[in-house]
Chains A and B, each alone.
Chain A
Amino acid sequence: MDKIRVERLSFYYGDKRALNDISITIKDREITALIGPSGCGKSTFLRCLDRMNDAIPNTRLEGKVLLDGCDIYAPDADVVELRRRVGMVFQRPNPFPKSVYDNVAFGPRILGINGNRELDDVVEQSLRGAALWNEVGSNLRQDALSLSLGEQQRLCIARAIAVRPEVILMDEPCSALDPIATLQVEELIRQLKERYCIVIVTHNMQQAARVSDRTGFFWLGELVEFDVTEKIFTNPDQQLTEDYITGRAG
């Protein structure tokens, strides 16, 4: 099932064009990886999917981004509700300087869930969903910043899924983590695919190959190639893609 359809998207920082005429269809319950060298526009593209670029002054966007067929940039689109439906996990683990419980409960509380039982349930489900319950379930009052970085990132994932999003965007979620924590987060991402549409930006090509179903290759603001991951990594159509994944370009 198609979850997100992007039609002829271009994005500008002032006069500089960061994305050029991107069209792509992202499927539900799949992991879509976006790869490419630094500055190729993959993170900018990711942020276009939940309008996180809106806050940056002097930017301009052309084209359409359709979520379940509705243009998220339409004048009457509800940005706040969009971001509830489309969650984001950031590059650096960034829990709030609050307890584990308050971090996960932050989103539900914003949405008006205040009952203790209800919140407890959401927190437990979300922590289980983020494969963190076994580690922190016995002490939800501990300071989130006392967790290891890998745990912090999984906490951020728990915080994101606590508002029951449909899509989760991840912007190089493992780049601050050690190899073991990275594998744990990757395993978690694979589990999350059962319930969510996941788009992950990574500059680690092995990671894209390990976790994703489809891979898009960005180069200088263009989407050079987008296909099933296995094909991209074994038999890409474009010479540039092959050069990049084999290390000859980039």
Chain B
Amino acid sequence: MDRHQVQRVGFILLAVVAAIVVIPILIVIGIIAVEGAGAISWEFLTAMPRDGMRAGGILPAIVGTLWLTLGTALVAIPIGVGGGIYLAEYARDNLLTRAIRLAIINLAGVPSVVYGLFGLGLFVLLFRFGTSILAGSLTLAIMTLPIIISTTEEALRAVPTEFRTVSASLGGTRWQGIRRIVLPQAMPGVITGVLLGLLRAAGETAPILFTVAAFFLPRLPQSPFDQTMALPYHLYVISTQVPAMPDEIKYGTALVLLTLVLSMNVVATLIRSTYRRRREW
């Protein structure tokens, strides 16, 4: 084989590998879309569940997931972005900060059920928040923090040092340099990290299992201290715990969750590409 043939074979192998990754995902999405489309109706999206969840809609689960995601965002974004800024811009490189970084990386790999049990112990029992949106949001926020912190830190580090130097040479304080030039340049990366973290939180079941999710609660939450249904847990419940559940409703619920998460993903991609067109160095 000459080197051109080697190259061709290499490309073909890579294409096959890529297909192995992509095709199953497309099949899964395709099946869910086809099987679930029939269930989607105005009633399905806006009504309470009836008949032991075998009919009616999934509104409380949708609303619950939106509330949980919002609560997670309110806690995780300021702390996560702030922590990322601290690690990238202020923290000295010493044993302590290395340990912190290592801990963050490891936290990102902790199974989500562990976060769920942690949230149960700390927020539900010790802080007496009960099973509530508050406890669930805090648990999801803690799970999301490592992702937001490390993507924020990486995005800031990717901004050339020169910008900080120039800002300092003009009489800017360190914070002014960060606020006015470094952070704006890093924004696409930060936003991507935040959205990826949040959409992971939106789709998780285990962390909300013990901290907030209600099996069946056909009303909308009134305060942060209420329990609520949530899409991922609802999907788990109707798929495994309810006998004689119509398949269409299971697929329909999965389709709603998938659409919610994927649309956030698309938003993240759009934001990133809009920003990217505006920056060059």
B165 nearest in chain A by CB position: A52
Q: How far is the CA of A96 from the CA of B182 in the complex (A)?
A: 10
Is A111's CB under 8 angstroms from B167's CB? no
Contact with B along A46-65 (1 / 0, CB 8 A): 00001010010000000000
SS of A interface (majority):
helix
A84 near B: Cβ within 8 Å?
A: yes
* B172-207 at interface with A (beta carbon < 8 Å): 172-173, 176, 180-181, 185
A250 near B: Cβ within 8 Å?
A: no
Best-surrounded residue of B170, B176, B185, B281 (most CB of chain A within 10 A)? B170
Q: Which A residues are in CB contact (< 8 Å) with B280?
A: 97, 145
A88 near B: Cβ within 8 Å?
A: yes
B100 near A: Cβ within 8 Å?
A: no
> Which stretch of A4-12, A102-110, A219-227 is in the interface?
A102-110
Contact with B170, one of A52, A55, A160 (Cβ below 8 angstroms): A160
Q: Which B residues are in CB contact (< 8 Å) with A249?
A: none
What is the distance, in angstroms, from B277's C-beta to the closest C-beta of chain A?
11
Q: Which B residues are in CB contact (< 8 Å) with A216?
A: none
B278 near A: Cβ within 8 Å?
A: yes
B171 near A: Cβ within 8 Å?
A: yes
Best-surrounded residue of A84, A97, A160 (most CB of chain B within 10 A)? A97
Contact with B along A185-213 (1 / 0, CB 8 A): 00000000000000000000000000000
A-B contact count, CB below 8 Å?
60
Q: Do A50 and B169 contact each other (CB < 8 Å), given the known contacts A90-B162, A97-B281?
A: yes
Is B162's CB under 8 angstroms from A107's CB? no
Is B279's CB under 8 angstroms from A97's CB? yes
* A103-153 at interface with B (beta carbon < 8 Å): 106-107, 109-111, 145
B163 near A: Cβ within 8 Å?
A: yes
Is B162's CB under 8 angstroms from A94's CB? yes
Q: Which A residues are in CB contact (< 8 Å) with B185?
A: 97
What is the distance, in angstroms, from A88's C-beta to the closest C-beta of chain B?
4
B166 nearest in chain A by CB position: A94
Is A83's CB under 8 angstroms from B168's CB? yes
Q: Which B residues are in CB contact (< 8 Å) with A90?
A: 162, 165-166
Q: How far is the CA of A88 from the CA of B168 in the complex (A)?
A: 10
Q: How far is the CA of A234 from the CA of B70 in the complex (A)?
A: 74
For the complex of A and B, 9 pairs with smallest distance between CB atoms: A84-B171, A107-B170, A88-B169, A110-B172, A97-B279, A83-B171, A110-B176, A94-B162, A163-B170
A-B contact pairs, 14 of them (CB 8 A): A52-B168, A55-B165, A80-B173, A81-B171, A88-B169, A94-B162, A94-B166, A96-B181, A106-B181, A107-B172, A110-B171, A110-B176, A111-B171, A162-B170
Residues on B lying within 8 angstroms of A by beta carbon are 162-163, 165-173, 176, 180-181, 185, 278-281
Residues on A lying within 8 angstroms of B by beta carbon are 50, 52, 55, 80-81, 83-85, 87-88, 90, 94, 96-97, 106-107, 109-111, 145, 159-160, 162-163
9 A-B pairs besides A97-B281, A145-B280 with CB distance below 8 A are: A55-B165, A80-B171, A83-B170, A90-B162, A90-B165, A90-B166, A107-B170, A107-B172, A110-B171
